[in-house]
Structure 1
Amino acid sequence: MAFKCLLVCLVLSISVNNVCSDVSLDDVFDVFELTTKVFNFISKSWEVADDMENRIGNENTPLVWYTKKKERKILNYFGQITHLVQVTQKETNDIRTMMLVSLKKLESMPDVLLNGIQINELLESVRSLENDFMTMEEYKYEENGKNEKTPTYTSYTLEKFADAMLTYSAGSPHKQMAKIHSFIVPQWEGFKFHTHGGIFNVLKNTLENSDALCDQKQSLQQLIFNLYKTLHLSQLKGFSVMQYSWMLLQTYGKGNFTFERTKQLQYFEKKITEQLDALKSSIISASNIYWRCDPAKHIKDTTYLEVTQLLQGYIENEADMNVEQSCMKDCGYYEVAEHKSCFKDQFCAKQRVCNGRILNCQYIDSDMRICQSTFGSNRRYDYIAYERGRTLGDSSVECKGTTSMVDSWWNFLIWHCSYCFCICDSNDAVSDRYFSLKPSLSDIKENKVITGIRFIKVKQMFHLQAQEGVLGPRGTIHESTRQWIEVPGFEFSFKNKTLKDGVDYHKLTYEARTIDIDSVLAPENTVVTGVKFRKIGSHLNIEVRVTLFDFITGKLIEPELKSYWIGNENTELSANPRTVIDISNSNLPIKSTTPSELDMSSNKYLTFTHSSIDYDVAQTTLPFIDMQTVAPYPGVPLSGLGIYFKGTKGFGGFIGASIFTYDLSNDINSKLFPIETV
């Protein structure tokens, strides 16, 4: 378990790259485009270093002048590389601080000593390459635009640095890059097999089906991919430092390094290809599902929402359910009834009447003590204590509302007028039971795709709200463009007579209160660009809009023509029928002391119902709705969306929205960054 924590901290420590907020979208690169651009600048720099004409001056011109001129051109190109790196990666200081803090917390754990040393070695290699790159960044040359001479380091200092970078000591860039490679692509080292299948496989095997992913804000596949990008960037920095070191030494007349630079390029290409193969083999079997675990504390209207007053426990005397005020029948007779009168203003006059159907009545006991809930509550009762000992709800707490002693009576000494426990199917206008059927669509004209999803409630209407962002090359999302798509405002209400039930919204009723549990996956070469609920019979069913796109360019392909909706239209009567998730007679999920268990399987359905009669007086509608934001960071296009259920046995659970981050397994290959000879 401690090793799991260590792996999580490693990923957190050297995790994802981000973009600076003060650069335009045109300046933002992913690590693959950055690699191509860095190699382009290295190639231009070698053209300067290889230019023999600048080695020759006239008899009156010192050779050192030409040397310094070439040195400045080379270091100016390196300065442009550092700028590209800065706008691609997250601030280096923040990453380094996170690494050191994480390691300090974990280094004393005895049972992770062996693996901890190995991972510390990996972090040390990353840190060493970062430090070498930062040191060389100090030597970059930039024109100040004022025709003034910019102070520079002496050629002696630069030469000594270059010499140090090209040695084969334990801390040299070459050695550190080789060590990182051994963690990604395992090799025998003496009697020790590094990381038992590579760091990506260790990460996958450790975190899959583990609660350790709950705080990551990424799918497991996305997490592995972002770890690779971080390690690749560190190696790219080490490669750049070595190349520029050879350039400087060649400029200072220390030799021609064509063979060395070519061999290093071939080595780099070979190792990166091997690493991409290792990455792909891990990602193929890594889950791309992202959902939200239970929060540390459940807070109504912050972490979860409730459907209210749909079906609710209700006390009614049989005399009040017929116009004759007769007690000739019994409670079981009233399977479907209505409130007809209030006999002699008894308890019926002291409580909120059921303005709708009264269902499934049963006799429990004649006399009772009823704790009515406080005014304005969605509940009718906090508890009911019957004379013969049975208690519905929790009577151990002090009644905060009104306590009433309620006794059945005899009519004409012949008929017993019993108080029945029933279920109220109310038509009250204050009930939160409406689901929007309006789609939440990304702006495909602006090349925007869905990047997140969440449940929200506006007035009494529940919405599936999507987040959008601009899609870039190779599955990148420009973070500064991510925003939540507006949902209809207060005017979008069941009270608005221009809106229709079943067309614009769905009203939950006793007959139509089922939601389908599904994962809707986009076909290959498409991404999600919209989401909505629809009605299939009496079921609420999720539907997803998908659009064709080009992974390398990130461009949607004729989005207005080639976007379409997909979903699962199966019902209980289909050839592949849906199965039910039964939550009847359940307690409130927020009272569970164990974490919810996830049911992400498709082709199921769940019916909104009342809570347990014994535990909660059937006062609450279950399941609850998880409203936590499901939006991975960093942003990523999506391969699917879903509605899932999570809960524990005996508790009503939650429904929530899940996403599937774009499946990268088919797109990982060396074409991600074509490398030209330098």
Structure 2
Amino acid sequence: MSATWGAALVITLAIGPAFGLTKTNQLSNDIVNSITDTWKLINEGYKDDVSADVIEMMRYVNKRLEEAERKVLNVGPVISMLGKEMKRGTRLELKLNDMSNLLYRLETSHSTMKNYLDYYESIDESTMEDFARYCVSHSPESLRGLVERINLLMVNKEDILLGWSILGLILQNVKEEHPDLCELQMSQHQLIFDMYNTISLAEIKGYAMMQFSWMLLRIYGKGNFTQEASLTRQRYGQRTNQTAAAARAALSLAKRDLHRCDPAAHKEGVTYDMVKRLLQGYIENEVDMNSDGTCRENCAYYTVAENKNCYQDLFCKKQTRCGGRIIDCTFLESDMWVCQPNYRHDHRRYEWIKYESGRTLGHPDTCSGSVTKVDSWWKWNLLHCSYCFCLCEEDIHDNRTQRFFSLGESVADVENNKVVTGLRLVKYGRVFHLQISQGTLGERGLVTPGSWVEPENKFDPKDYEVNEGVDFHTLTYEKRAIDLDELDSPSGHVMTGARFRMIGAHLHFEIRSTPFNYTTGALSHQKSVWISNDNTDGTFTPRKKLELSAPDIPTRSGMSLPVDSQHDQYMEFTHTDMNKDAAQNTVPFIDIQPVEPLKGAALLSGAGIIHRGASGSGGFLAAKVITYDFSKHVQAELPSEENYHEDDTTDFVPVVN
């Protein structure tokens, strides 16, 4: 690098914007300043090494562009996804095809220029001149023409805010055809933002190549071109402002939340897990639910009971007794056939129950275990000893009971500038935990992916060093509610942790939020706060309950289950429908798929606990995340040619919502 251009570059890079720009916005400013500095050197008449200055400047620009490209999502998979279900000949399809073609041609020209720069000393001057004239020609097929046609796709001259812009059409298509973007694991906001960054990089490349061309033609003595270069700069400023306006409009309408949808195939322990033996259908004779061994009452009498004995080793001897509370008994019919699983550790007590009338609970097609005839009887020909259908809340010390939620915090290593990049519910042993992934936050929202953070305390509820209500929560008949909330950080903050805590009888979700400097990426970890929606049943507008109507096992659903919960709701864990499943499972199931946008390379500002389900299904309890709002940082005002050396602060002042 020559000394003159190197000195100018140092001055340029020392200048920061007065607002938090995106990475591509700042790159644009740096490149514009570098080009302006080089023009000053040319105009000041350093004849001996001006050619070397120009070449060094363009090599520097290319290096910056290559660094930026590695940090911007390749939008090829996005375009491919959008095209899968798109009708032929639609407006969006035509625009996407045009955009892909134009970007490919621009990239080809840029690759040609990089090759010429690599071998500049041996490239003939006529070749370089020919390339330069192609770049700045008025022909619609020239590089200048490509850049202007890209701009036409990005903005609508009649309505610059959204109108017919390709970003607006993409957003419309996504909302209609791919509202969850589960295929790519990115939010609508991320998709639009990354498309904007891709287009912005193309515009920067085009601008740099045109300015380089004017410089070459000046060096080769073909003219002065000072005014042409100035007009090129002005036009670039107009295009980038228009693109930024279109992006901000689309970003303001794009959803920032993201969750996982149903996988191609459900697999326990991989895509979902279950709360087990909370409330489970259970057959018990009334004679075994009282200490006297009598049948003086009826099934409905036993609202809360326990197993007291096993009268004459009848059916009670052939099944696993309920070691906890027996709840809400009811009489259905006297005599039945019961299919019990053949597997000792199966979480089900029964595969199905079939009564003499033909009524069935569950699916009686096959039986993997043994079928037992179970008949009620008369005692002393006076009292009818009926078999009741009840719910068993199993003893918490039974290892088959899995209904515990950790109350421990899952937090990022903020002291080393790490932030949350993903969230999932996961079960270790018999306990469900919130688990985060973390990455390192850099300047202007850049996140370097890290790894999943193992919970600090993996424990079993029977361990002597942990306490109910402090370290974990046990779901019971009375305390089985969980709050459904979607929480976001204030402006200028990012998410750095998550936890459950108890509010009354409700399991409650919270996130930790930390302020940060957008320009530098530095976290102010001492100012971290926990954010929650502490709405309770005693408030003026209490939470609304999400009811599960006759819920079946969610993996039996033949459809993808959408999000059916809303912020500020709650739901209760319950049993599956008696007729559909003999009340053998606890629903909702727990979706344990990781929610980690862009494989841990995305900045998050919030998260939530949601329910995915439909009428007649128990659904899934799941985590969701909220990606950071970049719209406030999409700026395109270029530094003044006269005053671009003025001192500016790089401090980011959050915008108050």
TM-score by length of 1: 0.86
Residue 293 of structure 1: aligned partner: 261
- Within the candidate set 531, 534, 537, 2:498 is matched to 531
- Within the candidate set 26, 31, 39, 1:38 is matched to 31
Q: Structure 1 pair 286/639, CA: closer, same or farther in 2 (3 Å)?
A: same
Q: Is the 8 A contact 2:161 2:245 kept in 1?
A: no
Residue 175 of structure 2: aligned partner: 208
* Percent of matched pairs sharing the same residue: 36
Deviation, structure 1 residue 101: 7.0
Distance 1:96 1:291 in 2: 20
Residue 156 of structure 1: aligned partner: 126
Counterpart residue type for residue 561 of structure 2? S
Residue 157 of structure 2: aligned partner: 187
Deviation, structure 1 residue 337: 0.7
Q: Is the 8 A contact 1:75 1:139 kept in 2?
A: no
Deviation, structure 1 residue 196: 4.5
TM-score by length of 2: 0.89
**Structure with larger RCO (C-alpha < 8 A, sep 6+):** 2
1:52 partner SS: coil
Deviation, structure 1 residue 228: 0.5
1:218-257 alignment runs, 5 A limit: 218-257=186-225
1:619-634 alignment runs, 5 A limit: 619-633=584-598
- Within the candidate set 59, 68, 79, 2:59 is matched to 79
Q: Structure 1 pair 196/112, CA: closer, same or farther in 2 (3 Å)?
A: farther
Residue 391 of structure 1: aligned partner: 360
2:497 partner SS: strand
Q: Structure 1 pair 113/608, CA: closer, same or farther in 2 (3 Å)?
A: closer
Residue 655 of structure 1: aligned partner: 621
- Within the candidate set 454, 461, 465, 1:498 is matched to 465
Distance 2:439 2:534 in 1: 29
Distance 2:549 2:75 in 1: 51
Q: How big is each residue's C-alpha offset from its partner over 1:577-603, in whole Å with a ceiling of 9 and x where there is no partner?
A: 011111153111111122212135211
Asked if 1:646 is matched to 2:624, the reply is no
Residue 516 of structure 1: aligned partner: 483
Residue 120 of structure 1: aligned partner: 97
2:529 partner SS: strand
Q: Is the 8 A contact 2:482 2:508 kept in 1?
A: yes
Q: Structure 2: which 5+ residue stretches go unaligned?
A: 1-21, 645-657
Deviation, structure 1 residue 306: 0.7
Distance 2:413 2:364 in 1: 54
Q: Is the 8 A contact 2:351 2:363 kept in 1?
A: yes
- Within the candidate set 440, 443, 455, 2:425 is matched to 455
Q: Structure 1: which 5+ residue stretches go unaligned?
A: 1-28, 55-65, 143-149
Q: Is the 8 A contact 2:420 2:604 kept in 1?
A: yes
Distance 2:293 2:640 in 1: 89
Distance 1:533 1:518 in 2: 12
Distance 1:204 1:99 in 2: 12
Deviation, structure 1 residue 318: 0.9
Distance 1:115 1:548 in 2: 39
Residue 89 of structure 1: aligned partner: 69
Distance 1:510 1:529 in 2: 33
Deviation, structure 1 residue 453: 0.7
Distance 1:104 1:442 in 2: 38
Residue 166 of structure 2: aligned partner: 199
Deviation, structure 1 residue 153: 1.5
Counterpart residue type for residue 429 of structure 1? N
Q: Is the 8 A contact 2:322 2:394 kept in 1?
A: yes
1:174-573 alignment runs, 5 A limit: 174-187=144-157, 196-208=163-175, 210-211=177-178, 213-373=181-341, 374-396=343-365, 398-427=366-395, 428-479=398-449, 482-488=450-456, 490=458, 492-557=459-524, 559-560=525-526, 562-573=527-538
Q: Structure 1 pair 600/403, CA: closer, same or farther in 2 (3 Å)?
A: closer
Q: Structure 1 pair 331/675, CA: closer, same or farther in 2 (3 Å)?
A: farther
State how many pairs are aligned.
617
Q: Is the 8 A contact 1:630 1:657 kept in 2?
A: yes
Q: Structure 1 pair 53/229, CA: closer, same or farther in 2 (3 Å)?
A: closer
Residue 574 of structure 2: aligned partner: 609
Distance 1:301 1:357 in 2: 28
Distance 1:91 1:568 in 2: 35
Distance 1:153 1:378 in 2: 75
Q: Structure 1 pair 510/230, CA: closer, same or farther in 2 (3 Å)?
A: same
Q: How big is each residue's C-alpha offset from its partner over 1:55-87, in whole Å with a ceiling of 9 and x where there is no partner?
A: xxxxxxxxxxx5xx6444422332222222222
1:593 partner SS: coil
Q: How big is each residue's C-alpha offset from its partner over 1:307-364, in whole Å with a ceiling of 9 and x where there is no partner?
A: 1111100111111111221111111111111001111111111111100011111111
Asked if 1:598 is matched to 2:598, the reply is no
Deviation, structure 1 residue 472: 2.2
2:105 partner SS: helix
Q: Is the 8 A contact 2:95 2:166 kept in 1?
A: no
1:650 partner SS: coil
Deviant stretches of 4+, over 4 Å: 94-106, 193-196, 673-678
Q: Structure 1 pair 675/124, CA: closer, same or farther in 2 (3 Å)?
A: farther
Deviation, structure 1 residue 95: 5.1
Q: Is the 8 A contact 2:590 2:622 kept in 1?
A: yes
Alignment RMSD, CA only? 2.6
Residue 587 of structure 1: aligned partner: 552
Distance 1:661 1:437 in 2: 25
Distance 2:135 2:374 in 1: 89
